[in-house]
Amino acid sequence: MSLTRSMGFSCPYCMAPNEVEIDEINDVGQVQVLDCQVCCQPIELRVFQQGDDIDLEATCENE
C-alpha cells in the first residue's frame, strides 16, 4: 500500500504542468522547494488540507 499520492500543479513561471508525489500524512503543512520539470525554475510548493481534500499552492520561490 502506497502512502503517497501523485498530484499535479502548474509552474508559476512557465505554466507547464508538473507532478509531485505527496505523502498525505507527513507533507501537509509543509513547504517544499523543487524545480520545474520543464523550465528548471525553483518553485515553493505548499501542501495544505481543507476537510478531506489536499491542495497544493505553487508560487515563485522569491515571492
Phi-psi region of 52 (alpha: psi -120 to 50; beta: other; left: phi over 0): alpha
Cell readout for 7 is 498530484
- The amino acid present at 37, given as its one-letter code, is Q
Share of the chain above pLDDT 70, in %: 95
Q: What is the pTM of this model?
A: 0.83
As a whole number, mean pLDDT of residues 20-44 equals 94
On whether the CB atoms of residues 60 and 44 are closer than 8 A, the answer is: yes
